[in-house]
Amino acid sequence: MNDDPTKFPNRDDGRETADIAWRSVSYLTAGLLFYGGLGWLIGRKFGHQQIFMAIGLILGISLALYLTYARVSAMDTTMERDTTTNDRRTTQ
Amino acid sequence: MSAVVVATESCHLNSGCGFPAPSADIFFLQPYATINFFGMDFTISKAVILVLAVVIIVVGFFLAAARPQKMVPGKLQSLGEQSFLFVRDQIAREVIGKDGDRFVPFLASLFFFVWISNLMGVIPGAQFPIMSSLAFPVSLTLMVYVTYIFLGMKHQGPLKFFTNAAFPPGVPKVMYVLLTPLELLGLLVTRPVTQAIRLFANMFAGHLLITTFTVGAYYLLSPSLIGALGSATSFTVTVVLTGFEMFIQGLQAFIFTLLTAVYIGGSLHAEH
């Protein structure tokens, strides 16, 4: 009964889509904080603080975007793999 | 009485005192009383009284709606059921899936508590959105945080929960060195922080905006064409913004609950 597809629309797909949408915000914040902070620390120790911090911030944003992209790609693959299972469930 | 109210009462367009723009001071409420409890000072302010009122309203409503269990539901029972079903169908089942049903009481309590707390910002007499006091969203977020960490450790295993989160799928292993800090920082720090700040900042900004235009309407009210036009415009904007703010209040309560459901769902189901 719990597997009735009309009762639980989208199921995992919906959860994963919502999850990744909100996750991207936390990745961006984490990227800026961690790598920006790391750049700031390195700059504090070795000089050229602004350059190191700028590099850290850009690296942080780039990695956050890459991580979001990688997660969405992984999600697409999972969805494609599960399509057959879903189709079988709907037609039964 | 806050500084803005004092400044506004004697200040008009032509009195030469300038516009008494409301600042963050309006969110620091004057304490009515301070209770010392085991060496800690508990301040009773408007926010505390309002939060107690919200608890009584929400608990009272659902108790009253659930008390007379009739086959043909009355208006109150019907409204209570519809409210509960909204959270179940739109948030719990939609986001968490088949395991969502057992979290509906938690999610529904959270949604209605946050929504009515926000709504206090536009209710005449109350006019203070409780969630614009950072302590309240932070307390709620801590509750959500403990819940999803506990559920994750229970369902995926204490260590597995963190390793699942730390090593994202679909990424070359070399990249783990760079990406694992982001995943862990996201899970443990930025997720709860952004959840709390999103609710707080929306309520804070909305209330400040409405207050600015309300004070503006009062300040500009004077026997001159510019004053009358300006005051009328400012008042109209206040009314429109109040309507918009009511929409935001509901939306933010929904988003807060949705995020809670997303985090709980993520803790229950390991990544593929």
> In this complex, do A15 and B98 lie within 8 Å of one another by their Cβ atoms?
no
Distance from CA of A79 to the nearest CA of B (A): 10
Given pLDDT bands bounded at 50, 70 and 90, which one contains residue A1? very low
Cβ contact B186–A22 (<8 Å): no
For residue A26, list chain B residues with Cβ-Cβ distance below 8 A: 186, 190-191, 194
pTM of the model: 0.85
Interface touch B190/A30, C-beta < 8 Å: yes
Q: What is the pLDDT of residue B4?
A: 57
Ramachandran assignment for B13, one of left (phi > 0), alpha (psi -120 to 50 degrees), beta (any other): alpha
Phi/psi for B74 (5° steps) reads: -75, 180
Which chain B residue shows the shortest CA-CA distance from A3? B98
Which amino acid is present at B246?
A: M
Among B197, B194, B181, which Cα is nearest to B263's? B194
So what's the ipTM on this one?
A: 0.73
pLDDT digits (tens, 9 = 90+) for B169-225: 778 888 888 999 999 998 899 999 999 999 999 999 999 999 999 999 988 888 888
Instruction: Pick the more confident residue, B242 or A75.
Output: B242
| Best residue in A1, A11, A15, A71 for a mutation probing chain B (most B CBs within 10 Å) | A15
Chain B residues close to A13, C-beta within 8 Å: none
SS3 content of chain B, % helix, strand, coil (to 5): 75, 5, 20
| A30-44, B25-39, B198-212: least confident range | B25-39
pLDDT score of B3: 52
B85 in contact with chain A, both atoms CB, cutoff 8 A? no
Nearest to B186 among A7, A26, A78 (CB): A26
List Cβ neighbours of B248 (8 Å cut-off, separation of 6 or more). Answer: B202, B206
Is A29 within 8 Å of B194 when comparing Cβ atoms?
yes
Residue B209 CB-density burial (10 A; 0-12 exposed, 13-18 middle, 19+ buried): middle
Give tens-digit pLDDT for B111-132: 999 999 999 999 998 889 999 9
Q: What percent of chain B has pLDDT above 90?
A: 53
> How far B130 CA sits from the closest chain A CA (Å)?
24
Closest approach of B249 to chain A, Cα-based (Å): 19
Question: B165: distance to nearest CA of chain A, Å?
Answer: 12
Lowest mean pLDDT among A23-32, A46-55, B69-78: B69-78
Nearest-Cα residue of chain A relative to residue B98 = A2
What's the gap in Å between the CA of B178 and the closest CA on chain A? 8
Dist CA B252 CA B206 (whole Å):
12
Q: Please tell me which residue, B139 or A85, carries the higher pLDDT value.
A: B139
Among B267, B256, B250, CA closest to B194 = B256
State the average pLDDT over residues A75-81.
Answer: 66
Task: Give me the residue from B93, B182, B193 closest to A27, CB to CB.
Answer: B182
Contact B247, B140 (CB under 8 A): no
Task: List Cα–Cα distances, A1 to A4, A8, A11, A87, in angstroms.
Answer: 6, 10, 14, 17
Could you tell me what percent of chain B has a pLDDT over 70?
94
Q: Where are the alpha helices (DSSP H) in B74-103?
A: 75-87
Helix (H) or strand (E) holding B43: strand B40-44
DSSP β-bridge partners for residue B42: B35
What residues in A contact B98, CB-CB < 8 Å? 2-3, 8, 11
Tell me what pLDDT residue A8 has: 52
Q: How far is CA A8 from the centre of its chain?
A: 24
- Which tokens in the block code for residue B167? 């090593």
Contact, B262 vs A22, CB < 8 A?
A: yes
B193: chain A residues, CB-CB within 8 Å: 29
Mutate to test the interface with B, among A19, A20, A61 (most CBs of B within 10 A): A19
The predicted pLDDT at position A88 comes to 44
The pLDDT-based confidence of B74 (bands split at 50, 70, 90) is confident
Determine, for residues A34 and B171 on separate chains, whether the beta-carbon distance falls below 8 Å.
no
Closest CA to B131 of B115, B109, B111: B115
Residues near A20 by beta carbon (within 8 Å), at least 6 away in sequence: A68, A71, A72, A75
Distance from CA of A4 to the nearest CA of B (A): 10
CB contact under 8 A, B262 and A18: yes
